[in-house]
Structure 1
Amino acid sequence: MTQVHVDEQRASDASSGPLALVDDERRIGTDRSTSPSDLEIVDSWELKWPTDSENPHNWAIWKRIYHVAVPVWYGFTVTFGISVFAPSVSDVTTDLDCSRIVALLGISVFTFGLGFGPIISAPLSERFGRKYVYLVSAIFFMFFITGAALAPNIGVLLLFRSLAGIAGSPALPVAAGTKADVITRKSMALAMSLFMIAPYLGSCLGPVVGGFATQYKGWRWTQWSLLIAAGIVVLMALPMKETYKRAILRNRAIKQRFRFRNLFPPVENTLIQTSVRPIRMLFTEPAVFCFSLYSAYAFAVLFLFFAAFPFVFQRPPYTFSLSYAGLPFLGTAFGVLLGAAAVILIDRKWYQKHVRNGDATPEHRLYSAMYGSIGIPVGLFLFAWSAGKGVHWSVPVVAGVPFGIGNLCLFAPTVLYMIDTYGPMYAASAIAGNGIFRYTLAAVFPLFTFEMYTTMGTAWATTFLGGLSLLMLAIPFVFFKFGARFRAHSKYQPPRR
């Protein structure tokens, strides 16, 4: 899923108060040919924005749903693109004459691209708006996936897979920005859960499609199926309207021939913010590091299963065919759906109660992380000793349900906690650091899975993974109790209102 939400709070900041195209002008440098009356008109646009017909919060509900559906499908597509390749690894090793670990790099390089691409794509969406970033990136994504499907050797395949990951990277952070543009704060937890379902489901359903495509049509059809999904993204994005406030007002100013230059900070300044600050916060802020470590580990274990499930289910006693070996991921997919429902229900029952009482703190976002994330070790231990002992296949499949619940119940409140803790100014960087950590681990884990499971066996290898998750289980509880103390010593506290 992910560098899920790098762009979110920039957009939230943009929509929650005067962005001030004019303020940017005064701060960065105003075009001397702009008249005072022009500045007054733009000021009036700012003041009237809450009731402006172009404000996405004022759109008809069907229009808002449509503008949410596009990035949701895009997010599904790019994470589907990671995992759909997994069942084809054996065929790739034979067809392109390479080792298993080199073939697995097809997953890793794509994942690295998704993790680090937003360093470029996030500032571009701030400068040019959401719609054109979706369209242009999706078109390049299709081009690179076509190159991967036609690759004559493993080097070309890895090159185009890595470029496709970079091209598709705006799907997750820019989608978070669109969510903040279109969805009100009151519905943020609901929107967060729904947005996160898509990339998690993409990761879970990719092996299902990839298994059938590889067995009956060949490994190249894993890429052709991804190309079809990307083509739908382009078609869906064509009728979109712009949702980003700055871009909307900038376009309005251009149409009225206002001669503004520098309506946005220079891209190079934003690049520094999106690359340096996330790394700094990741290693200096306890909340960012601890929650990033926990959610990154859980996410990476999901990616590890892309290689582990074929190892387990295609061997005795299960001996699934290649097409059926991806079906156990449906258990995890079902768990993701239940996890989203749990996050929404917990938010409605507990967090909103504190909001109404006026005593809500960032720590109250952690209820679902504290109780839901217990599903991660439960699922791993159940899988370890059912699959490891050759118990009926339905039991290890069911083990994916609590694992999926735990993943979503951990990540969604983690993001909301960082948004509430660091505010619009710093939350984007905190979430960017989380994303870099998550996708780095997720890219690496599949590379050692086969050797780990061959050496340790299914039971002990998965028990080891479950044991590590058990050690991290206390993290949300610690921050629920002591989070206020950590926040008091933070160098990145949001400005007081």
Structure 2
Amino acid sequence: MKPDHPGDERESTPTNKAEADETEAGSVLVQSLQVSNLEPEEHPQHLPSPRKWTIVAVISTAATCVTCASSMAGFAEAGVSRELHVGKTVSILSISLYILGLGLGPLLVGPLSEVYGRNVVYRVSYATFFLFNWPVAFAPDIAVHLVFRFVTGFCGSAFLSVAGGSVSDLFNDRTVANPMALYTLSPFIGPVLGPLISGFINQNLDWRWTYRILLIWSFVELVALVLLVPETYIPVLLERKAARIRKESVDSRYWAPSERASRHIGHAIMINLWNAVVLGILYLTFQAFPFIFGTIHGFNTQSSGMSFLGIGVGMIMAISTQPFWNRFTRQLAEKNNGVLPPEARLVMGEFGGVLIPIGLFWLAFTSFRGVPWIVPIIASVPFGAGCYFVFTSTFTYMVTAYRPIAASAMAANSAMRSTFAAVFPLFARAMYDRLGAVGATALLAGLTTVLAPLP
């Protein structure tokens, strides 16, 4: 019997003799799609395309909200320092502790999503994210503010790991590239939008409005998650189906076994390290850009926030190349008897690995006061494009290479990325004060040059 989805032949083959024996013995509900009893309408990959894209859009905007919350705190630092009577270094902890929560959270929510399903994790995660942002917005002192910044980061972290698994649930290997591109952009455009939004808020309103607006946004996302996002994790759907059949037929033979595939841990560690350094540098720019454009070029808070537009433009330009990459992978699969190795996704990352140091070197040597301010902003365009290529390629590689445990694979990646992102902003200003804009940015460019061969 053929599998329901031509693109899922790799998933439909029993991975060991035990599973094959169980299938022959009459355990008809197994994880492999060809022998599952899921009705077509019960399988997430059979959902209508508009429904699937709506789900991707909801989880992507939710991820944007969560990551936007990290960098929105940047321009609120002055208000926090002034009203809560702390120094700048302590106020920067608002970003670092939040990102640390983002990094540690997936270690819990990733595995939980593979036990209880995606939907429960999404709803609990976002509900607590919304609730615990109230103490952040109305904190009476710095202790409350910082503690709940960490807690909200931890609660919102599901959308940096589990959401990638949902995309993998909804689309097979042939069609996953475009939705994964949209999802990949969302958590990384968030930190770019954060300073832009926060710059306008803090130029014209009290710093607490940064978090009040975040509360409104997160509430809208929570409602959308509850109303529009169903369960998509196949093993959990099979477990529910098996339990229903056992109850209705009083036949204990029907069950849904779990499958775990071993992978090369060294490859995952290197990919995670590369992602971590790139994301750390992206978050470091939230301290570096105010230095370059505020201190050197004299931008006010609002204008400094708009200086991040170059990175955003680079990401948008990069995602516009997705049709080219789709053709590339399709042609590669045709040459390989219809099978696309997951490693083929890393070709896009090779271009990103080159664009990032190019953008950083360009930025480094155009950061002088005498150079027009638009030049370093243009330099951030290839950097933004490179970030998109790096993250899209590695994320797509991981969700295709690590099926059906994509959420756990993404959780490990997210933990390392977010830990680097939490630490880098802490030493950014001191590094730029000591080395200057040219020396500090060139140092980062050199580091990314060394890492460029990784893909």
TM-score, normalised relative to structure 1: 0.79
The Cα shift of 1:97 comes to: 1.1
Report the Cα distance in structure 1 between the residues aligned to 2:125 and 2:411, rounded to whole angstroms: 19
Q: What do you get for the CA RMSD once the two structures are aligned? A: 3.3
- State the partner residue of 1:412: 392
Report the Cα distance in structure 1 between the residues aligned to 2:188 and 2:293, rounded to whole angstroms: 21
The Cα shift of 1:435 comes to: 2.2
Confirm whether residue 354 of structure 1 aligns to residue 332 of structure 2.
yes
Q: Identity of paired residues, percent?
A: 32
Write out aligned runs for 1:40-439 (5 A).
47=35, 52-239=40-227, 240-254=229-243, 257-258=247-248, 281=265, 285=266, 287-316=267-296, 318-342=297-321, 344-358=322-336, 360-418=340-398, 423-424=402-403, 430-439=409-418
Report the Cα distance in structure 1 between the residues aligned to 2:325 and 2:315, rounded to whole angstroms: 17
Q: After superposing the two structures, state which structure 1 stretch, 376-385 or 307-316, moved more.
A: 307-316
The Cα shift of 1:295 comes to: 2.1
Report the Cα distance in structure 1 between the residues aligned to 2:199 and 2:81, rounded to whole angstroms: 16
The Cα shift of 1:351 comes to: 2.4
Report the Cα distance in structure 2 between the residues aligned to 1:443 and 1:88, rounded to whole angstroms: 17
Report the Cα distance in structure 1 between the residues aligned to 2:254 and 2:82, rounded to whole angstroms: 54
The Cα shift of 1:415 comes to: 3.1
Gaps of 5+ in 1: 1-11, 28-35, 477-497
Match of 1:460 among 417, 423, 439: 439
Match of 1:469 among 411, 436, 448: 448
TM-score, normalised relative to structure 2: 0.86
Give the counterpart letter for 2:390 in structure 1.
L
Report the Cα distance in structure 2 between the residues aligned to 1:385 and 1:366, rounded to whole angstroms: 30
The Cα shift of 1:254 comes to: 5.0
Report the Cα distance in structure 2 between the residues aligned to 1:223 and 1:395, rounded to whole angstroms: 33
Q: 1:408 to 1:452 in 2, by over 3 A?
A: same
Query: Contact (CA 8 Å) 1:197, 1:336: kept in 2 or not?
Result: yes
The Cα shift of 1:173 comes to: 1.5
The Cα shift of 1:146 comes to: 0.8
Report the Cα distance in structure 2 between the residues aligned to 1:137 and 1:464, rounded to whole angstroms: 38
- Residues 134-154 of structure 1 show CA distances to partners (whole Å, capped at 9, x for unaligned) of 112111101111110111111
Deviation >6 Å, runs of 4+:
12-15, 41-46, 259-266
Gaps of 5+ in 2: 1-6
Number of residue-to-residue matches in the alignment? 438
- Residues 75-131 of structure 1 show CA distances to partners (whole Å, capped at 9, x for unaligned) of 111101111111111221111111211111111111111111112112222222222
Report the Cα distance in structure 2 between the residues aligned to 1:40 and 1:368, rounded to whole angstroms: 40
Query: Contact (CA 8 Å) 1:196, 1:412: kept in 2 or not?
Result: yes
Report the Cα distance in structure 1 between the residues aligned to 2:39 and 2:183, rounded to whole angstroms: 26
- State the partner residue of 2:4: none
Give the counterpart letter for 2:329 in structure 1.
Y
